[in-house]
Chains A and B, each alone.
Chain A
């Protein structure tokens, strides 16, 4: 009886508390509902909108397990740190500051040194794993990304994204010995299990003829001789990321994007915009073979990380846009390849039912999963959720997330972070096939031209553009059809890209805020201060000249500096510069900004100019795109040298 009375009392108390709590919650909700009436948010289409207070995030990009299995190293791109955890207890051990915007991480073969590439200051941090401190910082190439050390500990190999090469360094001094040409946007390096080869993948397609399928490669480097010994073609691939090998070295897999940019983008079903695939290499498969990760109604948008289980039973792939990890049964995969006639192209990417033969699980994880790594016994798989600041720990026996390691105390999600999550998540597109980042790789561009549907099939083919520095250069689109970013990213995107219900207005505002405030990477062609090389000085003079070489005045509107004026190299007006093709609906095009122009080939509105030089030597016969036909080859080179500084 007493107990019942106590319960009754508690219930009454509970009811009072609940009512009070609900009332408070309702008050807060009402307050939130009315708040905007008194505190209107910054409009996203205002270029001078105030950026909300920044919250510091870690943004874990890659994970590594120490050779003894005791430590988990997490490379955090936004906080520019390496965070060290106990791989058994998940307890934090130490946070090590590295350079600007790190991207690559690797352990030496002995495990005594940790190498981190820092993309924005072009350095490599060397960390002593006994003291967990940075013992050296070496200058390396432009935007260093992937890094590996050879087995002997003599050489370091560093992939440079901007210079599209692999630097070979003395592993003891950091002194560069040579450069090896790799694919465009060289980014990820993998050492073969026997240590004899290094495999380099790249994120932008190699130059190819206009309106032909993209071509990529895996550059294969002989570790001992430090020479490229093979280039494995990746036909139709634009964007290749991590490559991993089975422990026996007989099977390798690289995660990649297979765009459909040559087909009008009329709808997304049946792989209308992308296939997301693995290319398999090695003796287990003979010739390289491409296998899809997609399903008929559910896509594997933007695969990134690849890891083989130590016993080779499974391949795990992080799927950044789909926010999951895909598990593949290797035996079933190899059986599928052996049992099915291999297409002449070597690709099964056209078969959306193929993955049912080998994909055994899609494991939901956090926002934008990237790097992944196994515990030593293979029972745990650590996954870096870049835009969630967590590490998912997958139990590989159940293929479920068993634990989640938060990298920081839970804090409020900022507007910018929410916008970035939206940018990278494919959840808003039909059947989850694409997101902004499918074509704007790592928030940049993809080096491709696309045929969008509303302008007519085969008409108004457009080159995809860099997003950095996009703030304040409206109107948008090549024809200037969209006055601001909310228009560019709003209903037009929903209707002609996502082909599905997209985000609400608040999310759109967050997304555009993120895009407008993307930081512009350091320009490698600029000297310190306002200094210029002599060639750049000569190019600047040509850019600004008012008379041609024959002393004739150049009309103001036909000077480079007129249309490409201002800090971003555009006066934002439309001009006919004589580049209209028969398939273009109009001749007026917005003067393109010059921000990071050295990086963003191809050029012109339809991507028909493969190089800056071709803009003038091939596509400017009547001098309508500026007076350039009086210039010599050397002078054009000077002009290019100057443009690269923009």
Chain B
């Protein structure tokens, strides 16, 4: 039995003994017959859920976290000028939130113990830090305002103890995860360890809210699904693994077997963003009957015909509910990034695309990155093999995109958005925007039969070009 297991066993012993002695430290007890666990919800006079994707304020008239216990709501952090974005730790002992201690402060990341309500600031800075989410092993992910809008950062030194609390020094060990010329806001941490985040589609250039994924080291960024269209946001993963989100005013879901979203047959209402799933399988939702009304809190059992009211507050929207209840800890992602300042990318068949496979094989692929003024910087071209494969070395931690060129150098197809590859990442793509449903074919890519050295498009060998393309700064 290792040390962590021993500590766990001793803690379990203590947990068994404490109730027997007449003490309890469980903050989730509720006397309400209708609500199993206590709830925390954000109350705000005006809710603009997608404003952060434009770098704007979601709560222009302030916001306040409310603790709903036994059907009664009270401010959770009454001394704060503003508070929002509650996220409960996996053992339900603490909660992260974004808050402003004073009205003139930027949003900062705080943590509160749910038993004693003791507070500590986790992330402080001169710019807004919002939407904190717990990660395994004592880390958190959040969005930090930068010159390029909100970007995802991770904080905390990864502990070998997967249930470790966030260290007091977490704010000094931050790492940028996203590198976009647009805002990205975390939405949830999936059970497989990936971070679900919201941004505009096309990524880095578009304005339609969409959901994307990355690993907790910032690698592997991709669309969750590629049936892009209407705005999708406020994604929350259920215990089943499905992700429920707001689609326009309604709810929809992603399910593992499907490459496209599926509707949720919820009662007619306007829904706002994230939901919370109760132990019984009911959902806590923020819903309103239409324009001119406010979002109130309701519960809905999937399959039932009506919403059951939980709480409303005159003149306020009640949004982003969370339950004070323990939950399954997501898996930790073991980062396999190499100690490089560049990245490698192998595309197995650039002809394949969700937009329709190309009939002709491209002759070359062109890489473009973006300078700090938002201007595209051409990084050069690399050959594409007859089977559609190419292997390139690319600049890391900055926006990049590809275009496929024919023999005459004309663009056959190009990315409309941007993405990034992390330093030391070696990434394989099945095609060019093939969608997550397209699996790889089992064959050696022709480019690897010719050479195992990636074609250098990193700019390292072209004077000036790489230097013009600088990574984002916070």
The answer to whether A22 and B20 have CB atoms under 8 Å apart is yes
Cβ-neighbour of A29 out of B12, B136, B257 (below 8 A): B12
- On chain B, the residues within 8 Å of A267 by CB distance are 220, 427-428
Q: Does A138 interact with chain B (Cβ within 8 Å)?
A: no
Q: Does B346 interact with chain A (Cβ within 8 Å)?
A: yes
Which residue of chain B has its CB nearest to the CB of A263? B440
Which residues in chain A, 541-567, are within 8 Å of chain B measured between CB atoms?
none
Q: Does B48 interact with chain A (Cβ within 8 Å)?
A: no
Stretch with Cβ within 8 A of A (4 or more), from B1-9, B26-34, B304-312: B1-9
- On chain A, the residues within 8 Å of B136 by CB distance are 501
Question: Closest CB-CB distance, B82 to chain A, in whole Å?
Answer: 36
Q: Does B333 interact with chain A (Cβ within 8 Å)?
A: yes
With contacts A270-B430, A351-B438 taken as known, whether A298 is within 8 angstroms of B241 at the C-beta atoms is: yes
The answer to whether A495 and B241 have CB atoms under 8 Å apart is no
CA A502 to CA B1, docked complex, whole Å? 17
With contacts A270-B438, A457-B426 taken as known, whether A501 is within 8 angstroms of B5 at the C-beta atoms is: no
Stretch with Cβ within 8 A of B (4 or more), from A33-41, A49-57, A380-388, A588-596: A33-41
Which residue of chain B has its CB nearest to the CB of A431? B192
- On chain B, the residues within 8 Å of A494 by CB distance are 334
CA A351 to CA B437, docked complex, whole Å? 6
Cβ-neighbour of A32 out of B7, B9, B257 (below 8 A): B9
Return the CB mask of B201-218 against A: 1 if under 8 Å, else 0.
Answer: 000000000000000000
- On chain B, the residues within 8 Å of A501 by CB distance are 136, 162, 193, 331-334
Return the CB mask of B315-342 against A: 1 if under 8 Å, else 0.
Answer: 0000000000000000111111010000
Question: Closest CB-CB distance, B188 to chain A, in whole Å?
Answer: 14
Q: Does B72 interact with chain A (Cβ within 8 Å)?
A: no
The answer to whether B192 and A359 have CB atoms under 8 Å apart is no
- On chain A, the residues within 8 Å of B436 by CB distance are 269-270, 296, 352
- On chain B, the residues within 8 Å of A459 by CB distance are 452
Q: Does A483 interact with chain B (Cβ within 8 Å)?
A: no
The answer to whether B13 and A430 have CB atoms under 8 Å apart is no
The answer to whether A495 and B334 have CB atoms under 8 Å apart is yes
Which residue of chain B has its CB nearest to the CB of A275? B439
- On chain A, the residues within 8 Å of B10 by CB distance are 29-30, 33
Which residue of chain A has its CB nearest to the CB of B453? A456
Q: Does A577 interact with chain B (Cβ within 8 Å)?
A: no
Question: Closest CB-CB distance, B181 to chain A, in whole Å?
Answer: 25
Q: How large is the interface on A (under 10, 10 to 19, 20 to 34, 35 or more residues)?
A: 35 or more
Stretch with Cβ within 8 A of A (4 or more), from B91-99, B111-119, B244-252, B442-450: B442-450
Which residue of chain B has its CB nearest to the CB of A457? B346
Q: Does A491 interact with chain B (Cβ within 8 Å)?
A: yes
The answer to whether A350 and B441 have CB atoms under 8 Å apart is yes
Question: Closest CB-CB distance, A291 to chain B, in whole Å?
Answer: 13
- On chain B, the residues within 8 Å of A34 by CB distance are 6
Q: Does A19 interact with chain B (Cβ within 8 Å)?
A: yes
With contacts A454-B336, A500-B192, A501-B136 taken as known, whether A350 is within 8 angstroms of B440 at the C-beta atoms is: yes
Listed residue (B10, B14, B427, B452) with the most chain A CB atoms within 10 angstroms of its CB: B452
Stretch with Cβ within 8 A of B (4 or more), from A4-12, A107-115, A120-128, A253-261: A253-261
Return the CB mask of A252-294 against B: 1 if under 8 Å, else 0.
Answer: 0000001111111011011110010000000000000000101
The answer to whether A270 and B16 have CB atoms under 8 Å apart is no
Listed residue (A19, A349, A500) with the most chain B CB atoms within 10 angstroms of its CB: A500
Which residues in chain A, 468-504, are within 8 Å of chain B measured between CB atoms?
491, 494-496, 498-502, 504
CA A515 to CA B4, docked complex, whole Å? 25
Question: Closest CB-CB distance, B339 to chain A, in whole Å?
Answer: 12
Interface residue count on the B side (C-beta < 8 Å): 55
Which residue of chain A has its CB nearest to the CB of B454? A457
CA A211 to CA B452, docked complex, whole Å? 15
Listed residue (B16, B256, B338, B436) with the most chain A CB atoms within 10 angstroms of its CB: B256
The answer to whether B17 and A22 have CB atoms under 8 Å apart is yes
Which residue of chain B has its CB nearest to the CB of A41? B1
CA A294 to CA B256, docked complex, whole Å? 9
Return the CB mask of A295-322 against B: 1 if under 8 Å, else 0.
Answer: 1111000000000000000000000000
Q: Does B236 interact with chain A (Cβ within 8 Å)?
A: no
The answer to whether A29 and B220 have CB atoms under 8 Å apart is no
Which residues in chain B, 11-59, are within 8 Å of chain A measured between CB atoms?
12-14, 16-17, 19-20
The answer to whether A500 and B331 have CB atoms under 8 Å apart is yes
- On chain A, the residues within 8 Å of B16 by CB distance are 22, 25-26, 29
- On chain B, the residues within 8 Å of A23 by CB distance are 17, 20
The answer to whether A213 and B442 have CB atoms under 8 Å apart is yes
The answer to whether A260 and B440 have CB atoms under 8 Å apart is yes
Return the CB mask of A231-244 against B: 1 if under 8 Å, else 0.
Answer: 00000100000000
Which residue of chain B has its CB nearest to the CB of A347? B441
CA A569 to CA B151, docked complex, whole Å? 57
- On chain B, the residues within 8 Å of A349 by CB distance are 439
With contacts A22-B16, A298-B241, A500-B333 taken as known, whether A457 is within 8 angstroms of B259 at the C-beta atoms is: no
The answer to whether A263 and B20 have CB atoms under 8 Å apart is no
Q: Does B279 interact with chain A (Cβ within 8 Å)?
A: no
Return the CB mask of A427-446 against B: 1 if under 8 Å, else 0.
Answer: 00011000000000000000
Question: Closest CB-CB distance, A18 to chain B, in whole Å?
Answer: 7
- On chain A, the residues within 8 Å of B14 by CB distance are 26
Listed residue (A34, A353, A356, A456) with the most chain B CB atoms within 10 angstroms of its CB: A353
The answer to whether B20 and A19 have CB atoms under 8 Å apart is yes
- On chain A, the residues within 8 Å of B334 by CB distance are 491, 494-495, 498-502
Q: Does B410 interact with chain A (Cβ within 8 Å)?
A: no
Q: Does B233 interact with chain A (Cβ within 8 Å)?
A: no
The answer to whether B257 and A356 have CB atoms under 8 Å apart is yes
Which residue of chain A has its CB nearest to the CB of B450? A458
CA A459 to CA B258, docked complex, whole Å? 35
Q: Does B365 interact with chain A (Cβ within 8 Å)?
A: no
The answer to whether A296 and B437 have CB atoms under 8 Å apart is yes
The answer to whether A266 and B9 have CB atoms under 8 Å apart is no
- On chain A, the residues within 8 Å of B449 by CB distance are 458
With contacts A457-B346, A457-B391 taken as known, whether A351 is within 8 angstroms of B439 at the C-beta atoms is: yes
- On chain A, the residues within 8 Å of B66 by CB distance are none
- On chain B, the residues within 8 Å of A19 by CB distance are 20
With contacts A211-B444, A355-B257, A501-B332 taken as known, whether A264 is within 8 angstroms of B428 at the C-beta atoms is: yes
- On chain B, the residues within 8 Å of A403 by CB distance are none
Listed residue (B338, B427, B443) with the most chain A CB atoms within 10 angstroms of its CB: B443
Which residue of chain A has its CB nearest to the CB of B225? A296
The answer to whether A504 and B5 have CB atoms under 8 Å apart is yes
Question: Closest CB-CB distance, B434 to chain A, in whole Å?
Answer: 8
Which residue of chain A has its CB nearest to the CB of B443? A262
- On chain B, the residues within 8 Å of A260 by CB distance are 439-440, 442
Q: Does A177 interact with chain B (Cβ within 8 Å)?
A: no
Q: Can you name 8 A-B residue pairings with CB atoms under 8 Å?
A: A18-B20, A22-B20, A264-B448, A270-B439, A353-B437, A495-B334, A500-B333, A502-B334
- By a beta-carbon cutoff of 8 Å, the part of chain A in contact with chain B is 18-19, 22-23, 25-27, 29-30, 32-36, 41, 211, 213, 236, 258-264, 266-267, 269-272, 275, 292, 294-298, 349-353, 355-356, 359, 430-431, 451, 453-454, 456-459, 491, 494-496, 498-502, 504-506, 583
Q: Which 5 A-B pairs have the closest CB atoms?
A: A271-B439, A458-B448, A356-B257, A26-B13, A33-B9
Known: A30-B10, A458-B449. 15 other contacts (CB 8 A): A22-B20, A26-B13, A26-B17, A41-B1, A260-B440, A262-B442, A262-B443, A264-B428, A267-B220, A270-B439, A275-B439, A349-B439, A456-B452, A458-B444, A504-B2
